[in-house]
Amino acid sequence: MPSRPNILLITVDQWPGYLLGSAGHPVIETPTLDTLAAAGTRYTATYSECPICIPARRTLMTGTSPRSHGDRIFKPQERMPDLPTLAATFRAHGYQATSVGKLHVHPQRDRIGFDDTIIAEEGRPQLGAVDDYDMFLAAQGHAGQQFLHGMSNNEYGWREWHLPEFCHVTNWIAREMAHSIKRRDPTRPALWNLSFTHPHPPIVPLRVYLERYARRDPDRPVTGDWATSFEDLPHALQLVRMYWAQLGPEAMADMRRAFYALCTHIDHQIRVVIGTLREEGLLDRTAILFTADHGDMQGHHGLYAKRLLYEPSACVPTMLVAPKGDMEGARGGVRGELFGLADVMPTLLEIAGIAAPETCEGMSMLGSEGRPFVYGECMEDAKATRMVREGPHKLIWYPAGNRVQLFDMVADPNECRDLSEDPALADTRERLEKTLISQLYGGDLDWVEDGRLTGFAAPELPQMDNRGLSGQRGHHYPQPPVDDSGTVVGTV
């Protein structure tokens, strides 16, 4: 039996950091994750440096910042940069490496260092492949029917799942990972990347999980004093408000019940994978790290989805369970030091006794005192947002209109009170602005003069035209037609 530990990296898509029973959430059921937190360490201030799917996953898989890997927008047709990846580094040191679920690379069959990738890519055949989950549905007699529930991949309508339970992508991902574990090479340690596509919309939970939450009163979104007037919002936030329709109290409660149902379903399917490790005699020699690519605003401050640097979008759930006998003193620990997704790669490598590549910009979360600050960045031009979290304070900058917000994350963890104009915090604001300026690059430098943030005049608000229903998928059999560039005909 290999003496080095196995590694199970579990990622979820669009899961806010606060949405755990172990984090004190009053409604969500996450018994599996709560048990893992009690067996290991939960990190409460881990940030997605760019809370958008592809940039976040590039950071996770290379241990580098958006500045280094080249994406802070969402570039679905760009190759992974020529950097050592998590999987390639483990394989170079004798590990077998398998990924199951969402990888979000281009082309979709690029293995980025894994021996094998079994993919569920949320219906993107224009990126070069019919994914394995779609092929599974076809084999079950449901060819092209993944999206016939009618819900969009980026909206907050919901309904129950429309196919048999075993066909749900959450069940399929857990089942395929269990098969991969059983098919391992028994002479070598393993890196397993288990990547669930939910709770990212479409919000289509199983009926059994909807019924679980039907009689519960979900928590309600908070609205900061800075978010009550549309006219007073930074330009980038006005665009978000215009894009997503506001949900009324009853619709919001129903949506949250359905979203939480997706989370609990994932939590329960993680048990299948852990049970497989246990029955294969591997669990005690396996390190488990759970995290997300980013969160979801869930209506807080009247905002939805990701691409924002407030806590529900940018702060991700993170917990680490070491192999049995290691880090015994860390059981049940809760750490509030600052970390980012770039720190996952060096952490897992240290557990395996492997040196991180020189290109890796992250730091190990083991025994570390954390980062002195976390820099976050999203989008460019009029949609650009930049952030610095340092100690108890967070500064967010919107270059369009040159708007700054400042929050005390200890006294006001929900970011309801903007303290940017508080004279008592003028020195704090100036210090954080200097830290933020030190991290800017590229075109962002045009928005700074004489060491001060100047931004640029906010443009006129556009007229919204969302006739594509936020990327609505259709019937995928036969596969949608593509042009010579590989783009689905008729899409933008």
Handedness of CA 404, 405, 409, 411 (dihedral sign): positive
Of residues 292, 267, 323, the one with CA closest to residue 195: 292
Structural tokens at position 123: 């219906």
∠ CA 25-28-31, rounded to 5°: 100
Structural tokens at position 204: 């289509």
- Which residue ranges form the domains of the chain, and what is each CATH number? 6-372 (3.40.720.10), 384-461 (3.30.1120.10)
Helices and strands of the chain, counted as H and E runs: 12, 16
Structural tokens at position 240: 């978000």
Tokens 């003028």 map to which residue?
Answer: 426
CB environment 125-152: b (16+ within 10 A), e (fewer): bbbebbbbbbebbbeeebbbbbbebebb
Which residues make Cβ contacts (< 8 Å) with residue 72, sequence separation at least 6?
A: 50, 52, 55, 66, 377, 378, 379, 380
Round the average pLDDT of the chain to a whole number and report it: 96
Which residues make Cβ contacts (< 8 Å) with residue 24, sequence separation at least 6?
A: none
The neighbouring-strand residues paired with 406 are: 395
- Dihedral (C-alpha) 206, 39, 56, 27: value to the nearest 10 degrees? 40
> How would you write the pLDDT of the chain (492 residues) with one tens digit per residue?
678 999 999 999 999 999 999 999 999 999 999 999 999 999 999 999 999 999 999 999 999 999 999 999 999 999 999 999 999 999 999 999 999 999 999 999 999 999 999 999 999 887 778 899 999 999 999 999 999 999 999 999 999 999 999 999 999 999 999 999 999 999 999 999 999 999 999 999 999 999 999 999 999 999 999 999 999 999 999 999 999 989 999 999 999 999 999 999 999 999 999 999 999 999 999 999 999 999 999 999 999 999 999 999 999 999 999 999 888 778 899 999 999 999 999 999 999 999 999 999 999 999 889 999 999 999 999 999 999 999 999 999 999 999 999 999 999 999 999 999 999 999 999 999 999 999 999 999 999 999 999 999 999 999 999 999 999 999 999 877 777 666 666 554
pLDDT score, position 1: 63
Residue 60's CB: how many other CB atoms inside 10 A? 27
